[in-house]
Structures are given as C-alpha cells and as structure tokens.
C-alpha cells in the first residue's frame, strides 16, 4: 500500500495564509517571497524597509520587463512604477544592480508608499491566524493588536517588533522554511499564478487592443 507524505502543520498554515480569500492584492504574495529569501540566506530578523525593497526586487521583472499590471489600485505595482520612471532604471538592470541601487533612493513619495506597503504586508499576512480575535477590534487598533498577538503566539511565522519596525522568525518556522525551500517556493509560484490569472493584465495586450 502506498504511503503518502504527511502534510506539515506549517505548510497547511501557509496554504491558508495564501488562499484566495485573503489575497486581493499582490503585496502579501511578494511579502511571503521575501520571507523565503530571508530563510534561504539564514537571516533570522529583518527590518520592514529591507523586506519592502525585497518585495520590489521580487516583483520587478513582472512589472518592468514583462509589463504586467497587478490592478489599478495595487500599491506595490505603484512603487515599482515610480522607481522605474523617476530614476530611469534600465530594463537590463540585474537583481544585483537593483540591490545596490535601492539604498540610494531618497524620493519621499516612494519611501512613504513603500513603508505603507511593507507595513500592511507584515501585519495583514498573519492576520488570518487571529481572525476570531480581530473581529471586535477597531481598524485603528488592528495593527497594534496583531503585533501584540504575534508576540504571545509562538506558532506564528514571525514576531513583530512594532517600535523597531522589524520582524524576527520564530525558530521552528525559520528551520521549516530553510529545510523545505522547494515545497514553499512551489507554493509561492502556484499562488502567484492563481492571483495573476484573476487580477493581472498585460500593458502590451492593452496597447494592441
């Protein structure tokens, strides 16, 4: 009789967090991809700013080179467009070029929007884990509550340090993501394909219509 691999609770949690009902914009997907980058480099903690730029890097090719739009109101897409146009970034820029370039960005509008995107992604990505507890929480207290709950619950992927604007992996999650990179990367690509199928549109197609 064939033996089937038991699905880990970590993977089940990720499937839930990336399920379609929680993914209405691109930022959660690319936040997740940034977490995978953290784990693969064995980085246990990071600032929201660094993770925000990692989100931009991971989505750059789709937006700039393949000219895919994630939707009119997608903030991550807007950040990438602003960086590309205001700084006249070459279409041939490599990931290494972009990593070196990002820290030099000083434009206030770009940095404020990127802060907004990375903050929303950080808190809202794990919000489904506390769905019941958040039902009676007012919107202006939502992020504070999620941050507090992340510090009380070791089963969450990471802890949020709101005052320092950074996160830190819980150890078991760090180990899981580092050891199961193929499985977790496949989940990202499957979730992204599902999202793009429903939300994305090619500018090239638009121009030809």
In a domain, 10, yes or no: no
**Residue 156 belongs to what domain range?**
25-34+44-208
The pLDDT value given to residue 54: 97
* Pairwise CA distance, residues 104 & 106, whole Å: 6
The pLDDT of residue 205 is above 50: no
In a domain, 6, yes or no: no
The pLDDT of residue 4 is above 60: no
In a domain, 2, yes or no: no
**pLDDT one-digit tens code per residue, 99-136:** 999 999 999 999 999 999 999 999 999 999 999 999 99
In a domain, 11, yes or no: no
In a domain, 63, yes or no: yes
CB 52, CB 83: distance < 8 Å:
no
In a domain, 165, yes or no: yes
The pLDDT value given to residue 203: 54
Assign 12 a pLDDT band (cuts: 50, 70, 90).
Answer: very high
The pLDDT value given to residue 8: 87
Q: Is the pTM of this model over 0.85?
A: yes
In a domain, 183, yes or no: yes
CB 25, CB 74: distance < 8 Å:
yes
Handedness of CA 43, 46, 103, 33 (dihedral sign): positive
In a domain, 116, yes or no: yes
* Pairwise CA distance, residues 40 & 174, whole Å: 9
**pLDDT one-digit tens code per residue, 25-73:** 999 999 999 999 999 999 999 999 999 999 999 999 999 999 998 987 8
Assign 202 a pLDDT band (cuts: 50, 70, 90).
Answer: low
The pLDDT of residue 193 is above 90: yes
Number of domains in the chain: 1
């Amino acid at each position: 009789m064939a033996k089937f691999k038991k699905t880990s609770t970590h993977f089940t949690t990720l499937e839930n967090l990336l399920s379609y009902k929680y993914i209405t914009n691109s930022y959660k997907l690319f936040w997740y991809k940034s977490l995978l980058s953290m784990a693969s480099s064995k980085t246990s903690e990071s600032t929201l700013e660094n993770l925000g730029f990692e989100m931009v890097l991971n989505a750059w090719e789709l937006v700039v080179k393949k000219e895919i739009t994630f939707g009119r109101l997608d903030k991550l897409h807007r950040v990438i467009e602003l960086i590309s146009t205001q700084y006249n970034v070459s279409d041939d820029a490599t990931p290494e070029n972009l990593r070196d370039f990002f820290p030099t960005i000083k434009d206030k509008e770009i940095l404020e929007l990127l802060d907004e995107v990375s903050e929303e992604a950080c808190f809202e990505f794990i919000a489904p884990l506390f769905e019941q507890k958040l039902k009676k929480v007012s919107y202006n207290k939502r992020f504070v509550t999620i941050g507090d709950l992340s510090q009380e619950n070791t089963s969450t992927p990471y802890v949020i340090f709101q005052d320092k604007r950074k996160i830190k992996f819980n150890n078991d999650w760090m180990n899981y993501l580092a050891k199961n990179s193929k499985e977790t990367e496949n989940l990202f690509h499957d979730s992204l394909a599902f999202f793009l199928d429903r939300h994305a549109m090619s500018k090239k197609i638009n121009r030809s219509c």
